[in-house]
Each structure stands twice: as C-alpha cells, then as structure tokens.
C-alpha cells in the first residue's frame, strides 16, 4: 500500500484544524461580548429617551411658569378647572393649557407629547385649595410625562405666584 502524501505549501496557508480552532475562538468571544453590546445599546436608548422626556417636561414647565407669572389679575382668568387653565395676559389674548390625549397643548399648539397627566390646583393665601376666583393667590400645576417603551415616567410640579395678584406675597415674612 502506498501512503497518502499531503502537499506542503511551504507555510503559506492554514490547515483545516487551525481554521476550525480560530473560528471556535471567535464564536466564544462573540458569545461573551454580544450580551454586553446589546445591553449597552438598551442602556443608551433608555438614557436618550429619558433625556428627551426631561427636556420636554422642563420646556413645558418653564413656559407655563412664565405665562402664569404675568397674569394681570384674577379677573383675567377665564377657566380654572383641574384639567384646564385659560386666561388673558397683556401680550396675547387667550392662553389655554389643557391635555388633549397625550399632548399638552398651549392655545392649540403642542407643547409636550407623551404627557399622561396634567393637574392644576388653585391656592388661597393660606395655601389651601380654593374654587373661588377672587381668593386665588397661587397656581400649582403638575405634569407627568412618559419616556415611552417602558422607560419610565417623570412627574414635575411647580407653584407660581402671579406677580400682579393682590396680596400674593402676604404669606411671606
């Protein structure tokens, strides 16, 4: 019988065993790194979604605070329910804040999206809730906004003392 002889390439190539071994090492490294890379991608999405949510909530809060602060008097308040606040100011005719579905709207324009709750509370000089227009000294509003895709939600609350309301600052010593 004659022995099978292999053709030698002079060290210029790889044997089948070397290729299989290298492939196995690459698969093992990939299996270890894949969950880490996938988790990093999910964490990046979480942080990005929460940043967008926080930016929208801050923008809405700042705009509402600015508008409410410059209401000339309680006579300029047109609607004051727990879900809607409408008033006149000296710059624009009517400003109306309300939740339409999941959009926080300011006079018909979307101010923030993915809003799950908007609540207004009208406070008297003792800090108690009031339904009497003439007794309103401050307005507290609360916004709950969702990041979507199960990334959580954020609730922000602010109390604004309109600058021109009579006796608005009598509670401070």
**26 belongs to a structural domain:** yes
Domain that holds residue 75: 16-160
Instruction: Using alpha carbons, select from 82, 79, 112 the residue that is nearest to residue 96.
Output: 79
For the stretch 11-69, pLDDT in tens is 678 899 999 999 999 999 999 999 998 888 888 888 888 888 888 889 999 999 999 99
Residue 75 lies in a domain: yes
What is d(CA 96, CA 78) in angstroms, rounded to the nearest whole number? 9
Domain for residue 2, yes or no?
no
DSSP conformational letter for 22: H
Please name which of 116, 112, 129, 122 lies closest in space to residue 155, comparing C-alpha atoms: 116
Q: How many domains would you assign to the chain?
A: 1
Asked if residue 124 is part of any domain, the answer here is yes
Residue 72 lies in a domain: yes
Q: What would the two tokens of residue 136 be? A: 């309103």
CA distance from start to end of the chain: 112
Please, are residues 78 and 107 in contact by the beta-carbon 8 Å criterion?
no
Residue 1 is predicted with a pLDDT of 56
6 assigned to some structural domain: no
How distant is the alpha carbon of residue 154 from its chain centre? 6
Contact 57, 37 (CB under 8 A): no
pLDDT in tens, 89-98: 877 789 999 9
Q: Is the pLDDT of residue 83 over 90?
A: yes
If you average pLDDT over residues 153-164, what whole number do you get? 89
Q: Is residue 120 part of a domain?
A: yes
> Does residue 92 lie within any of the structural domains?
yes
In whole angstroms, what is the distance from residue 57 CA to residue 41 CA?
24
């Amino acid at each position: 019988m004659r022995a099978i002889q292999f053709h030698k390439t002079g060290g210029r190539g790889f044997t089948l065993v070397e290729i299989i071994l290298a492939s196995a090492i690459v698969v093992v490294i990939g299996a270890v790194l894949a969950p880490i890379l996938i988790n990093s991608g999910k964490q990046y999405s979480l942080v990005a979604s929460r940043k967008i949510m926080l930016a929208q909530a801050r923008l809405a809060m700042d705009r509402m605070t600015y508008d409410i602060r410059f209401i000339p008097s309680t006579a300029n308040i047109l609607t004051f329910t727990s879900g809607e606040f409408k008033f006149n100011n000296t710059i624009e005719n009517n400003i109306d804040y309300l939740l339409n579905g999941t959009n926080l709207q300011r006079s018909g324009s979307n101010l923030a999206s993915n809003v799950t709750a908007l609540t207004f509370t009208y406070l008297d000089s003792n800090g108690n809730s009031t339904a009497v227009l003439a007794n309103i000294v401050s307005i507290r509003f609360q916004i709950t906004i969702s990041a979507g895709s199960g990334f959580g939600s954020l609730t922000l609350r602010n109390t604004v003392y309109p600058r021109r309301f009579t006796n608005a600052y009598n509670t401070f010593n």
